[in-house]
Amino acid sequence: MVEPENLHISLSFLGETGDKKVDEISGKLDSIAKNYQKFEITISGIKFIPNENYFRVLAFDVLSPENVLRKEIVKAPIIERISSEIRSEIGGDVKPPHLTICRVRSIGNKNLVIQEIIKRLENFKESFKVNSIQILESTLQRSGPIYSVIHESRLS
């Protein structure tokens, strides 16, 4: 299970990135963030990553209401729009937005696990306000990753 202090919504995985590249990415992220107001999202529904037949990660799906960009009405949900801009401007291994709750090493009875997870979490729903987009550094330990914020871009 991911420790509460390590929970975050993933928009892109950048991989090994040098300090100079981080400065460049930080500037681009600041430019993206200034175009968006703070918004509310909801996490609900289980995602099996990469898929239900072979999953290494269990995550909540990230849902967001349609929102208004400062200068235009956005048809796509705002979190998808931000993710698309990150993919276009910054790159990385971009996945659909998700909140990882558990990493899976091995499973005995996969179908039983899936049934239990769905039964326990199918009605889970939590909403919260998004105020910023962060660049996180992941330091791998035997016990799992430890995340540190190395840059934060505040939304308007």
The values of phi and psi at residue 61, to 5°, are -75, 150
Q: What is the pLDDT along the chain (156 residues), one digit of tens a residue?
A: 888 888 888 888 888 888 899 999 999 999 999 999 998 888 888 888 888 888 888 898 887 654 333 434 444 578 888 988 998 999 888 678 889 888 888 778 878 888 888 888 878 888 889 999 999 998 888 877 888 999 999 998
Catalytic residue of the set 3, 7, 8, 50: 8
Q: What is the Cα–Cα distance from 46 to 69, expressed in whole angstroms?
A: 28
For residue 151, indicate whether it is catalytic: no
The radius of gyration of the chain from alpha carbons, rounded to an integer in Å, stands at: 17
Catalytic residue of the set 59, 98, 130, 153: 98
Domain count, the chain: 1
Q: By residue range, what is the domain housing residue 51?
A: 4-154
Closest among 81, 72, 70 to 36, alpha carbons compared: 70
CATH number, domain containing residue 30 = 3.90.1140.10
